[in-house]
Amino acid sequence: MTSSTIPRIAGFFWLCTMLVAFTSCQTTTTSSHQFAAPSPAWSTKTGQLAYTDQKVSLIGEVLVRYSKQGEFELTFTKAGGITLLSLRQDAGFGKVEGPLARRGWSGPIGEAPASLRGWFELRDKIVNGRKSATIRHDAGQQTFTLRF
């Protein structure tokens, strides 16, 4: 090795070390949020959900559970038990997973991506429309029709 090669190798290793250090130290505060565990006191509804947006139109089964304290769960599935979207939500925090959520998301509800806001708005529509057999919600280019 020549004397000019050693500094280049050292520089390369330093650069690799810094890349690893900066990319692996990412932390999120959202992963530590704890949702309340569902209990027998929660209300449960099952039915169908018709969802449409500018790209897709789906009809599937929906399971909704919610508490008097504002905790909320929604699971949207297709025939055969394939989960399309799973949502957990409380007064200020939400988490959504599944193919319709793309990569998934969790965080303060006010900071939710536009494509997921309609899903989080369903909580108030469902909880406040308890006695309604049909609930419709339009959120931008998304339309939700629930039949319980």
- 24 vs 68, which has greater pLDDT? 68
Architecture category of domain 43-147 in CATH:
Clam (2.50)
- The predicted model scores a pTM of 0.76
Give pLDDT, residue 19. Answer: 35
Across the range 92-111, mean pLDDT stands at: 96
Q: How far apart are CA 140 and CA 59, in angstroms?
A: 19
Residue 15 has pLDDT above 90, yes or no: no
Which pLDDT does position 4 carry in this prediction? 59
Q: Which long-range contacts (CB under 8 A, 24 or more apart) does 95-98 make?
A: 95/30, 95/33, 95/35, 96/120
User: What gap in Å lies between CA 52 and CA 29, rounded to an integer?
Assistant: 32
Average pLDDT score over the chain: 85
Q: Region 98-103: what's the mean pLDDT? A: 94
- Over residues 16-56, the pLDDT tens digits come to 343 333 333 333 344 589 999 999 999 999 999 999 999 99
